[in-house]
Structure 1
Amino acid sequence: MSRIGNKAIVLPAGVEITNKDNLVTVKGPKGELSREFSKDIEIKVDGSEITLHRPNDSKAMKMIHGTSRANLNNMVVGVSEGFKKELEMQGVGYRAQLQGQKLVLSVGKSHQDEVTAPEGITFEVPSATSIIVSGINKEVVGQTAAYIRSLRTPEPYKGKGIRYVGEYVRRKEGKTGK
């Protein structure tokens, strides 16, 4: 039984949803998102509540049911509140700068890395060592933050690199650190 798929999605005030042959468009105060869902899943909109129903209880249908509900809920939350990922940089000389829509990173390489913001994504640099990636599409926000982190992943000995705020980096003991 898909517990996630059976939960109803409540639409917040100011959010509109349209469904045409399982091409769902969600409009809200922050923007608009569209996604095509599986033809097997039936999407019903009753006032300010959305429910998803599957045709049978096969394992594949249960997986599609839960995933579809989670994706639709992420669309509703994205257009009403938005998503953000916070990154921090640790290391001597590591810093970030914002030049227009580009994020310029100095992370201990012989050159600076430039990251161009994808459509719908905004970068903020509150301090030289912290970065905030925000937008309405949860997948693109997470993918962009993961790409920035991959430019200098935290290394296990001193912990230098780019990490998510609150991320625990497991430290290794060096050869002489017994």
Structure 2
Amino acid sequence: MSRIGRHPITVPSGVEVDIDGREVTVKGPKGTLSHTIAEPIEVQMEDGTLTVTRPNDINKVRGLHGLTRTLINNMVVGVTDGYKKTLVIQGVGYRVVAKGQNLEFSLGYSHTITVEPPEGISFTVERPTQLVVEGIDKQKVGEVAANIRKLRKPDPYKGKGVRYEGEYVRRKVGKAGK
């Protein structure tokens, strides 16, 4: 068995899991998420725990087994606690401003960049140089944070740009003058 896939998923109180054929729907205090399970994988609900099983040991099926268990576990955690990523903006004149639901970035370009939150994602500007991306879908939170980081990646020479909190930016030495 897959090492990750063999672990049962404990469903906390206040979370409702509905298995309808190949569709798993998880409802919790923060919202609802659903996922379609790949063909050979089976999911059973027993006594407040979810168990993911597979019919055979083919490599592709073994990979799907662990993946399915992790995706369902991420859905359970998302509807109870939610996910968040913190981004730090570094550089002279680089900042972010909240304009209603949208964010307006000044990142050293000749224009400002406006970012609209997709459905299920919210932005919080803690400081002009720090923002938090929050939501219940781990994949969507990570994707939105990566797209914001992509607006101005950290510069390896001066360290300017948008980076994740705690991300180490490897610095390069500039050319030596004579």
Q: TM bucket by the smaller chain?
A: over 0.9
Q: Secondary structure at the match of 1:146?
A: helix
Q: Which runs of 5+ in 1 are unaligned?
A: none
- Given the alignment of the two structures, is residue 70 of structure 1 paired with residue 92 of structure 2, yes or no? no
Task: State the partner residue of 2:38.
Answer: 38
Task: State the partner residue of 1:51.
Answer: 51
Q: Secondary structure at the match of 1:5?
A: coil
Q: Distance in 2 between matches of 1:174 and 1:118?
A: 39
Higher mean C-alpha deviation, range 94-103 or range 77-86: 94-103
Task: State the partner residue of 2:22.
Answer: 22
Q: Distance in 2 between matches of 1:34 and 1:12?
A: 17
Q: Secondary structure at the match of 1:78?
A: helix
Q: Distance in 1 between matches of 2:111 and 2:13?
A: 47
Aligned partner letter, 1:26:
V
Aligned partner letter, 2:138:
K
Q: Distance in 2 between matches of 1:76 and 1:22?
A: 17
Q: Distance in 2 between matches of 1:37 and 1:115?
A: 32
Aligned partner letter, 2:171:
R
Q: Which runs of 5+ in 2 are unaligned?
A: none
Higher mean C-alpha deviation, range 26-35 or range 38-47: 38-47
- Given the alignment of the two structures, is residue 12 of structure 1 paired with residue 12 of structure 2, yes or no? yes
Tell me how far 1:116 sits from its aligned partner: 0.3
Tell me how far 1:35 sits from its aligned partner: 1.0
Tell me how far 1:12 sits from its aligned partner: 1.0
Aligned partner letter, 2:33:
L
- Given the alignment of the two structures, is residue 146 of structure 1 paired with residue 146 of structure 2, yes or no? yes
Tell me how far 1:22 sits from its aligned partner: 1.6
Q: TM-score, normalised by structure 2?
A: 0.98
Aligned partner letter, 1:54:
R
What percentage of residue pairs aligned between the two structures are identical? 53
Q: Distance in 1 between matches of 2:12 and 2:95?
A: 39
Q: Distance in 1 between matches of 2:152 and 2:158?
A: 13
Q: Distance in 2 between matches of 1:60 and 1:4?
A: 15
Task: State the partner residue of 2:173.
Answer: 173
Task: State the partner residue of 2:3.
Answer: 3
Q: TM-score, normalised by structure 1?
A: 0.98
Aligned partner letter, 1:57:
D
Tell me how far 1:39 sits from its aligned partner: 2.3
Task: State the partner residue of 1:88.
Answer: 88
CA RMSD of aligned residues (A): 1.2
- Given the alignment of the two structures, is residue 100 of structure 1 paired with residue 100 of structure 2, yes or no? yes
Count of equivalent residues: 178
Aligned partner letter, 1:110:
S
Displacement over 4 Å in runs of 4+: none
Asked if 2 retains the 8 angstrom alpha-carbon contact of 1:21 and 1:39, the reply is no
Q: Distance in 1 between matches of 2:114 and 2:72?
A: 32
